[in-house]
Chains A and B, each alone.
Chain A
């Protein structure tokens, strides 16, 4: 877990580079660790609060450690009228966690997302960015079984 310094250094001199650095760090670690936030603040000449403010303004970034697979359930209107609310409940029950939590084995984190632009097949979830359309509560075990 050392190379966040290198990542930050790559973007250091670019205007607006802090967001690009956060993307790169999150890609590597699945979230933005606190020490990386501190380092970024220093590199971009911001206070730690400001760097934290940037990271937490954007819902795509997480400053909380997350599981190996991040399940995001779309909670925008087109998915909700297609049963997205029931799907979310079913996922919570199946995984035994609430929205925003990570399973004890560190495998899954359950998050809500706004529209991911896959409204042709509602309701939609994404797992590590991959969209899966038309998910019903019955399909959950089969879908999650391929994420070990």
Chain B
């Protein structure tokens, strides 16, 4: 065996020397990188990438152009970074054609780095602040996102040059039990949502009798508001793959699967490329790096069923059946895919593994909180200014995450709540902002870490409606197996819908609560058990809004269509302007004899167009709840 061991290390050294040479040579001349993860592409990154290529060719410049993944600053896509010898490496956000042309003419052809639209430098220098110099930088701690946006996700050499697959080499020289011990020591908890200790899961699978064994990467990210798994797979697929290979070695599996959503086509392509390249380098397939360990991986595309994120449903799906969960035990670790011991870990969980192996369990435990060590990747969405991804140590407060990392609420609005953990999570109010985010504190508050999606809500969002959106999701995604989930969520949804339409009764709120408790207790899988959380937390923290709906027919956030009416304040309306009339799709707005505009409530479909159209200097259109006749002059003193 000792011969094999040194052979493995030697084989890797050779790979890494080649890789480093290749990557270093890239930066000998200027290098332009464009973030082309789907968040970048959706904002036109490919067009910017092509523009750089064409212009560089046209101008005969000796410059490399490369695609990279997502750094997490999705609000500033397309993101371009320029490395030029003798200059600090600079990132430029929201690069359009004009900015790209300036960067080419002023910076690549000449030597003006266009500081005026640079976002941050990558390393400390005398000219320009780095990301660490911003408030956000104080909180961010990148482990799994460290290389995202810096390396080419479609070239394995970039990952290898940054010590990629070094953890695998280390592991191949270890006893599988020691690998599991290291993961157990690190107290890594599953990042898919439940927070189960990863090392214990591995141990269960290793000890389970049966062969062959399987390992599966769960990339069926489906929580509304979560997109970090997609970004990780699009930006650094090898990191997860290395973790998956290590997991396979530790539990003794020979076949792996990546269960990834078909809705993530770029992630699927980049994963396929990663698998092909890993195979060609001898890092995957028969006798990996010359060792006696063989393992291969297949991609399986999920098909739009949220419940398949649940382990037993996911397994049913890979077996070609409808993704319906089954009773546990037996757990997949002992009886999973095709009845064999199967380990299932989330993308992020597996992505942490190579880092823990390389740097040790003690290093990992030095970050985060004692019970939830390490970092967590959060997706910031909703009414927050800087949408995107942020990796922060566990234990960071929600306030820091929203107001410092995310830079607060958009449009000067007031924060109302944050929906954390997707449809299984809950809505937390202002008073919960100082909660540290870790698995246990959130659970106590009635929410859940889930996959780490944070949907920030402001004063214009109705909490009853938010609860209804999330329940509508889980109701549709219920597989229909258990009565509580199938019928309970449906009843709850009907009650919520009635409330948002003003047809609720005062006793509905308690009835909802009761039903929610029953669905929680009576459902088989995580989907049903957690589906009531958004309803329970909104009642717990925002009961007054529910009461306003049922008792007064009033929606305090002015969001529920049936409980509001649009009104043009005569004192504010400019007689000379007609934009509201033009914007109305139903001709509900008319001109009064005194030339002021007014709305025919019978015709109004409450599409909001007139409110958007009314010029900001007038702001004459308002929403009123509950709908009622308004006396002329009544609204005057309100403003």
Q: Are B387 and A116 in contact (CB under 8 A)?
A: no
Complexed CA–CA distance, A132 and B230 (Å): 16
Chain B neighbourhood of A15, CB < 8 A:
319-320, 338
Contact bitstring A75-88, B, C-beta under 8 A = 1, else 0: 01111111000100
A77 touches B263 (CB 8 A): no
Chain A: minimal CB distance from B41 (Å): 8
Are the CB atoms of B469 and A58 closer together than 8 Å? no
With a CB–CB cut-off of 8 A, which chain A residues contact B222? Answer: 114-115
CB under 8 Å from chain A, chain B span 300-328: 300-306, 317-324
Q: B77 contacts which chain A residues (CB < 8 A)? A: 120
Query: Is B226 part of the binding interface, using a Cβ–Cβ cutoff of 8 Å?
Result: yes
- Name the A residues within 8 Å of B248 (CB-CB): none
- A133: nearest chain-B partner, CB-CB: B42
User: With A59-B305, A119-B379, A122-B381 as given contacts, are A81 and B39 in contact (CB-CB < 8 Å)?
Assistant: no
Residue A18 is within 8 A (CB to CB) of chain B in the complex: yes
Residues 467 to 481 of chain B near chain A (Cβ within 8 Å): 469-470, 473, 476-477, 479
When the two chains form the complex, which single residue of A18, A53, A77, A93 contacts B419, counting CB atoms closer than 8 Å?
A: A77
Q: How far apart are A76's CB and chain B's nearest CB, in angstroms?
A: 3
A115 CA / B227 CA spacing, docked (Å): 9
Using Cβ atoms and an 8 Å threshold, which residues of chain B touch A16?
A: 300, 317-320
A82 to B470, CA, bound (A): 14
Interface contact A19-B317, CB-CB below 8 Å: yes
* Number of A-B residue pairs at CB separation under 8 A: 147
**Interface contact A120-B301, CB-CB below 8 Å:** no
**A20 at the binding interface (Cβ < 8 Å):** yes
Q: Which of B90-98, B355-363, B453-461, B536-544 contacts A (4 or more CB under 8 A)?
A: B453-461
Asked if A57 and B39 make an inter-chain contact with CB atoms under 8 angstroms apart, the answer reads no
Q: Are B304 and A78 in contact (CB under 8 A)?
A: no
Q: CB within 8 Å of A: which of B23-81?
A: 38-39, 41-43, 74-75, 77
Give B257-313 interface residues, CB cut-off 8 Å to A: 261-265, 300-306
Q: With A23-B262, A117-B226, A121-B74 as given contacts, are A77 and B470 in contact (CB-CB < 8 Å)?
A: yes
Q: Is B570 an interface residue (CB 8 A)?
A: no
CA–CA, A117 to B388, complex, Å?
Answer: 11
Check if B547 is an interface residue, CB within 8 A of chain A.
no
A-side contacts of B320, CB under 8 Å: 15-19, 44, 54
- Among residues 41 to 83 in chain A, which have CB atoms less than 8 Å away from a CB atom of chain B? 44, 53-54, 57-61, 76-82
User: Using Cβ atoms and an 8 Å threshold, which residues of chain A touch B227?
Assistant: 117-120
Set of chain A residues within 8 Å of B230, measured between Cβ atoms = 117
Q: A118-B39, A120-B387 are in contact. Are A57 and B322 (CB under 8 A)?
A: yes
A33 at the interface (CB under 8 A from B): no
Does A6 count as interface, using CB distance less than 8 angstroms?
Answer: no
Is B301 touching A20 in the complex (CB atoms < 8 A)? yes
Given A16-B320, A18-B320, A115-B225 in contact, is the A120-B304 Cβ separation under 8 Å?
no
A129 part of interface (Cβ distance < 8 Å): yes
Report which residue of A16, A53, A79 has the largest number of chain B beta carbons within 10 angstroms of its beta carbon: A16
Contact B303 A61, beta carbon cutoff 8 Å: yes
Q: Which of A57, A59, A131, A137 contacts B42 (CB 8 A)?
A: A131
Residue of B nearest to A77 (CB): B469
> Chain B's nearest CB lies how many Å from the CB of A54?
6
> Could you tell me which residues of chain B, from 408 to 452, have a CB within 8 Å of some CB in chain A?
419, 423
Provide a sorted-by-A list of 7 A–B residue pairs whose CB atoms are within 8 angstroms: A19-B320, A20-B300, A22-B303, A60-B262, A77-B423, A117-B221, A119-B226
Known: A57-B322, A118-B38. 8 other contacts (CB 8 A): A22-B303, A57-B323, A60-B262, A78-B225, A86-B607, A114-B477, A115-B222, A119-B227
Residues of chain B touching chain A, judged by Cβ–Cβ distance below 8 Å, are 38-39, 41-43, 74-75, 77, 221-227, 229-230, 261-265, 300-306, 317-324, 338, 379-383, 387-388, 419, 423, 453, 455, 457, 461, 466, 469-470, 473, 476-477, 479, 585, 607-609
